[in-house]
Amino acid sequence: MGRRRKRRKIIVKKVRRLPTIFQCPRCGKTSVSVVINKKEQHVFVKCAACGLAHDFEYNRHLEPVDYYSMFIDWFEEEAGGLG
């Protein structure tokens, strides 16, 4: 009774994007996103978990991971004095 046929649709998504989600230096969660706005020549790096955020100037030679490392540097400088 009731032949069940499992139909499997295999959907191959071609994702060619570079990763844009990174680990947050403050809360440690992987919720830091890098949003590049080429139109406004502006990059916004933000942690969705703790709200840590910073803006950078857009540079077409840089990749999201580069902004992320700038974000880390910025954070370390900011947090450095707080001990």
State which residue, 59 or 65, has the beta carbon closest to Zn ion.
65
Read off the DSSP letter of residue 17: P
Q: Does 62 bind Zn ion (CB under 5 A)?
A: no
Q: Does 26 bind Zn ion (CB under 5 A)?
A: yes
Q: Does 50 bind Zn ion (CB under 5 A)?
A: yes
Question: ∠62-56-81 over CA atoms, to 5°?
Answer: 115
Q: Does 48 bind Zn ion (CB under 5 A)?
A: no
- Tell how many helices (H) and how many strands (E) occur in the chain: 1, 4
Which residues are near Zn ion by CB under 5 A?
24, 26-27, 47, 49-50, 52
